[in-house]
Amino acid sequence: MLEAVRVALDPTPRQERLLESHAGAARFAYNAGLAHVKAMLERQEKPEWSYYALRRWWNANKDALAVSMETGKPWWPENSKESYNSGLESLADALKNFSKSRKGQRKGRRMGFPRFKSKDRAVPGFAYTTGSFGLIDCDPYALRLPRIGRVHCMEDVSRRVNGAKVLRMSVSKRGGRWQASLTVERADLPIPSPPKGGSVGIDLGVKELATLSDGTVIHNPHVLKSNLGRLKKAQRNLSRKRKGSNRRRKARAQVARLYARVANLRSDALNKTTIMLAHAYSDIGIEDLNVAGLVKNHGLARSIQDAAFAEFRRQLTYKTARTGARLHVIDRWYPSSKTCSNCGTVKAKLSLSERVYHCEECGLVIDRDLNAAINIQVAGSAPETLNARGGSVRQTRLECGTMRHPAKREPSGGGNRVRLGAGLGNEAMQMTSL
């Protein structure tokens, strides 16, 4: 099992200059390799852009490419060879993603042809894959970086790694701080027994980050919205600085620090929430949200991206696997908000401005998000109740191309309706007013 361990570095001024030099060497190799590939394409030659082909080309031409204009001597020996290899590896990955995306073999958004990396915009970074890098014996607060030496860390790295084998170490600078990400290989642990807590459904939202089926509401910190004023001020200050000046460099660093602060606050909130859920509940139900479609609503796009729904699900996925909890992902076509959690009636239309759900059939009045969370809980609770009415929550595509929705097990009318909220222990579901 592979795992990433990220730690903050505390380099000396000399080490920081060496880190900048290594990052610049990786960027130089990336740009030189990209220029070589473009030259082959212009000559209508078959491009060889695999990682090993780019390495062979670099080793054959590095004495002519990495040459000082003042002395005429090669400067590439000043940095570790791993910095150049990491730049070429990034280029090979970018070209491979472009090729697969062009052929329709890659999921996600379409990838364009790689572009040259700018010193001002690119994230400084490089990686070690071979050599004597990584932990130092009897020195838990340090890492060994070839050609740079011992670099102090802000925490106990040995305790974080905990005896695992270090396969790779990536070094980057984000928000004005250098950090190292260690890829470690751990032995597969047996799946632990699930937590003693019951099942829960989670309805993600913008106003509140998550509403649970037991009535718990997790507040959305709105970290981007709360720091937007300072970001606008810092970006206005940056736009007024002359390009290439030291003041512009300092202003750009200030903007980067603010964005890093926003990212750290968001990550902290998501980590605390997902850890709590993974340890408190044995079965967790969550929707498969179409985030790419949601952000097309330009009025809510910023708030949706600030909530980080995809990151919430990603963290919940691997944390439930660690704790033994079961994560149930409900199909995105399941109308959790439009379905009454008491009688199963589905509304034909429910506008986003309606924050209270009113059921015209049974008279239930309940918070919209809580109603959706209860339906999500029932949808992922047990095989015999895959959705609020017992049918599959996935739409079935027939051979003719039409969509068939799940049918109810019992008629919509009569007094024999199954009360879905029974036994959930949720007093709020029986609310008649807010």
Place of tokens 């997902």: 274
Strand-pairing partners, residue 67, are: 74
What residue type is 61 in one-letter code? Answer: N
Q: CA-to-CA distance for 172 and 356, rounded, in angstroms?
A: 47
Contact at 8 Å (CB) between 366 and 211? no
Task: Name the nearest CA neighbour of 126 among 88, 168, 86.
Answer: 86
> Which amino acid is it at 80?
S
CA dist., res. 207 & res. 26, Å (int): 43
CA Rg, the chain, in Å? 27
**Pair of tokens at residue 97:** 């993603």
C-alpha 97/C-alpha 101 separation (Å) is 6
Q: What is the C-alpha separation between 391 and 412, in angstroms, rounded?
A: 14
Contact 91, 33 (CB under 8 A): yes
Q: Which residues are catalytic?
A: 203, 287, 369
d(CA 113, CA 400): 38
Q: Looking at residue 241, what DSSP letter applies?
A: S
Compute the distance between CA of residue 116 and CA of residue 310 in angstroms, rounded to an integer. Answer: 29
CA distance 410 to 396: 20
DSSP 325: -
* Residues in contact with 20: Cβ distance below 8 Å, sequence separation at least 6, in sequence order: 124
